[in-house]
Amino acid sequence: MNEQSVICTRGLTRYFGSKPAVDNLNLEVPRGSVFAFLGRNGSGKTTTIRMLLGLLEPTRGSGTILGYDIRALPPEARARIGYLTEDHQLYGWMSVKECGEFQSRFYPRWNEKIFRGVIGHFGLKQTARVKDLSRGERAGLCLGLTLAPEPELLVLDDPALGLDPVAHRSLIESMIYLTRRSDRTIFFSSHQLADVERVADYIAVLDRSVLRVCCPLEAFRNSVRQVRLRFSGAPPPMPKIPGLLQTIRSEGELRVICAHYNGATEAALRALNPAQMEPVPLNLEDAFIGYLGERGEKSFILPETEAQP
């Protein structure tokens, strides 16, 4: 295990009944990274996060967080982790200020300046009652409560869910601000690929309980490529090419999306004798959908050791 990893799991598995929610997960999150944890609804992201934080017992496998065994996290480890849940649990009868006072008692390292900074950034008044807050304001309050103890590791479970554009931008700005300290790690799950593009340097993708990508964002973008092949007649049938994700066939043309694109892929495509062959740039969303689409073979993009920051 790499000691630069703040999260590391080996074969982590959790069953609900006879169905695996997370299947044999090997995840490694480098210290200081902004790590996006992606996957469709129900792919096992929240289950993974709950196991990492010791809130749910794994069926099999092991894991460490900040070097501690996830099955026996001591309070001092928990104090160094900030966890923002999907559903922003708060006491409705408290004011914003009271929430801060209440939370601060649990943390020896509470930084009131950060708390005020974040809630100010989200435009919240100290005297406002929690029950009167909008979804975006609750998110801001929860983020303030999570950031004020200055956690070394921040775990955000779908923090952008249901936020309006202004609150959303505040959230992303807060995340960028956090990177001022290079030893802080942010692990967040999301469906917002625009956010991922802005803030993440690593991504992991869960697909139906199985990890299919875990690498630097840039490596993912470089690996998934789209090529257009033009033919003078009808395009030939597509042979089996390693990493082939998708083939879109139209008159005189094949559009192919491949993972692990390399010289061999190119040679295999050239062997089809196209009249013309050109790369077609893919944006992150298209690459992601191409990768998770139903037609692709199950391929893995493994972490690249040389790409460690």
Partner 1 sequence: MSFNITISTGSNTPIYKQITDQVWLAVVTGKLAVGDQLPSVRALAEDLVVNPNTVARAYADLMRDGLIESRAGRGVFITRKRKVFTREEGWRRLEPLIDAAIGEALAMDFTHGELREAFEKKLGQWKPGKGGNRSNE
| Residue 191 near partner 1 by CB under 8 A | no
Among 41-49, 133-141, 261-269, 279-287, which window interacts with partner 1 (CB under 8 A)? 279-287
| Residue 289 near partner 1 by CB under 8 A | no
Compute the distance between CA of residue 58 and CA of residue 178 in angstroms, rounded to an integer. 30
Among 69-77, 146-154, 266-274, 277-285, which window interacts with partner 1 (CB under 8 A)? 277-285
| Residue 112 near partner 1 by CB under 8 A | no
Among 18-26, 146-154, 264-272, 281-289, which window interacts with partner 1 (CB under 8 A)? 281-289
Q: Which is nearer to partner 1, 6 or 90 (CB)?
A: 6
SS3 track for 122-161? CCCCCCCEHHHCCHHHHHHHHHHHHHCCCCCEEEEECCCC
Cα dihedral 20, 289, 49, 138 sign: negative
| Residue 309 near partner 1 by CB under 8 A | yes
| The residue type at 234 | A
Compute the distance between CA of residue 146 and CA of residue 156 in angstroms, rounded to an integer. 9
Q: Whose CA is closest to 255, among 232, 281, 292? A: 281
Output b/e per residue, 275-284; b: 16+ Cβ within 10 A.
Answer: eebeeeebeb
3-state secondary structure of 244: strand
| Residue 120 near partner 1 by CB under 8 A | no
Among 119-127, 197-205, 230-238, 245-253, which window interacts with partner 1 (CB under 8 A)? 197-205
| Residue 173 near partner 1 by CB under 8 A | yes
Among 70-78, 177-185, 257-265, 299-307, which window interacts with partner 1 (CB under 8 A)? 177-185
The distance of closest approach from Cβ of residue 249 to partner 1 in the complex, given in angstroms and rounded to an integer, is: 22
The count of other CB atoms within 10 Å of the CB of residue 262 is 12
Strand partners, 7: 29, 65
H/E segment holding residue 202? strand 202-207
| Residue 176 near partner 1 by CB under 8 A | yes
User: Residues binding partner 1: what is the number (CB under 8 A)?
Assistant: 23
Compute the distance between CA of residue 292 and CA of residue 302 in angstroms, rounded to an integer. 16
Asked if residue 124 lies in contact with residue 133, where contact means CB atoms within 8 angstroms, the answer is yes
Q: Which is nearer to partner 1, 89 or 182 (CB)?
A: 182
Pick from 71, 169, 230, 295 the residue near partner 1 by CB under 8 A: 169
| Residue 304 near partner 1 by CB under 8 A | no
| The residue type at 72 | A
β-pairing verdict for 185-189 and 34-39: parallel
Q: Which is nearer to partner 1, 176 or 271 (CB)?
A: 176
The distance of closest approach from Cβ of residue 199 to partner 1 in the complex, given in angstroms and rounded to an integer, is: 5
| Residue 172 near partner 1 by CB under 8 A | yes
Among 13-21, 53-61, 103-111, 198-206, which window interacts with partner 1 (CB under 8 A)? 198-206
3-state secondary structure of 297: coil
| Residue 99 near partner 1 by CB under 8 A | no
Interface with partner 1 by CB under 8 A: which residues?
Answer: 34, 169, 172-173, 176-177, 179-180, 193-194, 197-201, 218, 221, 281-285, 309
